[in-house]
Amino acid sequence: MKTLQGKIAVVTGASRGAGRGIAYELGSTGATVYVTGRSVNGSTTDNRPETIEETAAGVTSRGGKGIAIRCDHTSENDVRQLFSQIERENGRIDILVNSVFGGSESTLPSGEGRLFWQRPLEHWDAMMVAGPQAYLLTARYAAPLMKKHRQGLIVNITFFMKDRVAGNLYYDLAMNAINRMTLVMAKELKEFNVSAVAVCPGWMRTERVIDSGYGPEDGTTETTAYVGRAVTALALDPLVTEISGEAIMVAELARKYGFTDVDGTQPLPFEG
């Protein structure tokens, strides 16, 4: 069985949700995973209890090595310090998973409705700054460490719906900015043997979703382990460069690589 033993990964926004699920699965294959986010012991965010220390411990208990580092990925100083530490300790990074997103935080003002002119500009800032801008900032510091060793994989967690609007105007723009960013990253990193892939989960049973009891009408959901297994499959694929630049649903990757969710099923793509 192939493993990621000896590989150095960074998973951003990993205190909970997709980030936590991805960190756990990378840990299960032996990777050293730097778990980053703003939620730390004694100071969590968004009225949630989860922390990066808990995630790091979960990575270690699964056979990897989890390292928790507090990092606000909208802060260049925080991101610079993060990668300076990783360079000092390892000299390189093999896998970067961008998974931060501020657009769903409960502290955002609700506005006057769901239409774009009814939404406050704080929604734009939360989705674009703590989204594609944070992805770009983080990748800017990761790419030189990959380029130097002529290997690496950047995975950008995203969402898209073919020929349909994803959610609302701000969210749709944020996700499509990430998808386009991935395409251009792949083009510019190709000569250095570094790949970039945008990965789109379906309706995940995150901690927040489970607590709210909310779900899609058709009942099609997946655990955060499913997207974690997708990322792990990409990291293990020696031919991942062949799909670099693409935005791919987790369900499509499950069919391509033959992995399942924790219950042995392969949930279909979320169609809205």
Kindly list the catalytic residues: 171
Indicate the burial class of 4 (C-beta count within 10 angstroms; 0-12, 13-18, 19 or more): buried
- The conformation of residue 132, written as its DSSP 8-state character, comes to I
User: Rounded to whole angstroms, what are the CA distances from 134 to 62, 154, 156, 159?
Assistant: 28, 14, 11, 16
Tell me the C-alpha distance between 27 and 58, whole Å. 8
E strand or H helix that includes residue 62: none
Q: And the tokens for 129?
A: 């700054």
Type of residue numbered 36? T
E strand or H helix that includes residue 95: strand 95-98
**Other CB atoms within 10 A of residue 252 CB:** 15
Tell me the C-alpha distance between 126 and 108, whole Å. 8
Tell me the C-alpha distance between 225 and 205, whole Å. 10
- Alpha helix positions (H), 190-260: 207-212, 224-236, 250-257
Q: Are 225 and 25 contacting, i.e. CB atoms less than 8 angstroms apart?
A: yes
Phi, psi of 150 (to 5 degrees): 55, 45
